Amino acid sequence: MEVLVDDGRPLFEQVAEALESAVLDGSMPEGSRVPSINELAVFHRINPATALKGVNLLVDAGVLHKRRGIGMFVTDGARAQLLAERRGDFVQRHLAPVVTHAKSLGMSADELAALVKEEMER
C-alpha cells in the first residue's frame, strides 16, 4: 500500500484512495482481508478515527464489507466497480476536454483516434 503524502486533500480521502489502488493493482484481491483500522493508523501515522472514516467511504461505496468479529474484506466485483468509476472519471476530467478542443480545431473522430493510437504506441 502506498504511503500518504501531504497533497492538500483530507487524509481520510487519501486512505480510501490508497486502499482503492491496492484493490486495482491486485495487491489486495477481492475476498481478501483489509488491514485493521489500527494497522492502517499505525502504517500511515494517522488517528484511527481518520483511518476509519476512509474505510467507511469504501464500505458505503460497496467496495469493502464488514464481517462481524472478523474484520473488513474486499467485496467481490470491487475491482470492476472501481475500474468503471475511474474510467468514467477519466473521460470527464481528461477525454471530454480533449474532444471539445479537437472539435474546435475541426478534427474528425478518425483523426483524433489516429492521434490517440499513435500516442499510446510511443
Domain layout of the chain by residue ranges = 11-76, 79-120
Q: Pick 11-76's CATH classification: 3.40.190.10, 3.40.190.290, 1.10.10.10, 1.10.3720.10.
A: 1.10.10.10
Does position 2 have pLDDT exceeding 80, yes or no?
no
Report the pLDDT averaged over residues 31-49.
Answer: 95
Does position 3 have pLDDT exceeding 90, yes or no?
no
Residue 82's pLDDT is 97
- Percent of the chain scored above 70 by pLDDT? 98
Residue 7's pLDDT is 82
Instruction: Give backbone dihedrals phi and psi of 112, rounded to 5 degrees, phi first.
Output: -65, -45
Report the pLDDT averaged over residues 5-25.
Answer: 92
Does position 1 have pLDDT exceeding 80, yes or no?
no
Cα–Cα distance list, 20 to 8, 31, 54, 113 (Å): 19, 14, 11, 30
Give CA angle at 78 (15, 14), nearest 5°: 10
pLDDT band at 4 (very low <50, low <70, confident <90, very high): confident
